[in-house]
Copies of this chain bind each other. A is one copy, B any other.
Amino acid sequence: MLITLDERDARPIYQQIVSQVKEQIQRGDLQPGDELPPVRELAGALGINLHTVRGAYGRLRDQGIIDLRLGRRARISQARRAPASVVEAETALGGHLRELVSEAFLLGLSANELHSMLDSHLGNVNVGASTPDSNMKEKR
């Protein structure tokens, strides 16, 4: 598993790790059951403190992304959660969307341009899910 830290990224280190693990799951680079590197190993490779990695892993566990068990290696969870309700989705993504729209406006983007940027990012998504006609790869 390849994790890289971006000095220019304003987000805290643990957040970058969390995001990258999620993106790798989404891309299919990490599959359910796959092992993550031990915290000490990843900390060493990234040149950061062990606790920083533990914080990242802990959040991934709390979000149901990975399984952590004492004495065993961290693994990508089997269970993918059920589709979220509209309310849950708004709670989880509302801040992201407001930020995105705000920034896009400042850049002078049109609604169409923003939607097509979103489309190009959705295109990267490796969805091979149970309901192929309603997944995120779907052509609009």
Which A residues fall within an 8 A CB radius of B?
A: 7-12, 18-19, 22-23, 25-26, 59, 62-63, 65, 69-71, 78, 80-84, 88-115, 117-119, 121-122, 124-125, 127, 134-138, 140
Q: How far is the CA of A100 from the CA of B109 in the complex (A)?
A: 18
Residue in contact with A125 in the complex, picked from B12, B70, B80, B105, CB distance below 8 Å: B105
Residue in contact with A99 in the complex, picked from B19, B89, B98, B140, CB distance below 8 Å: B19
Residues of B within 8 A of A94 (CB): 9, 121
Q: How far is the CA of A107 from the CA of B80 in the complex (A)?
A: 9
* A107 in contact with B93 (CB, 8 Å): yes
Question: Within the oligomer, what is the number of copies of this chain?
Answer: 4
* A83 in contact with B106 (CB, 8 Å): no
Residue in contact with A108 in the complex, picked from B81, B96, B108, CB distance below 8 Å: B81
Select from chain B the residue with minimum beta-carbon distance to A65. B106
* Chain B nearest Cβ from A52, distance in angstroms: 8
Q: How far is the CA of A100 from the CA of B137 in the complex (A)?
A: 15
Residues of B within 8 A of A91 (CB): 8
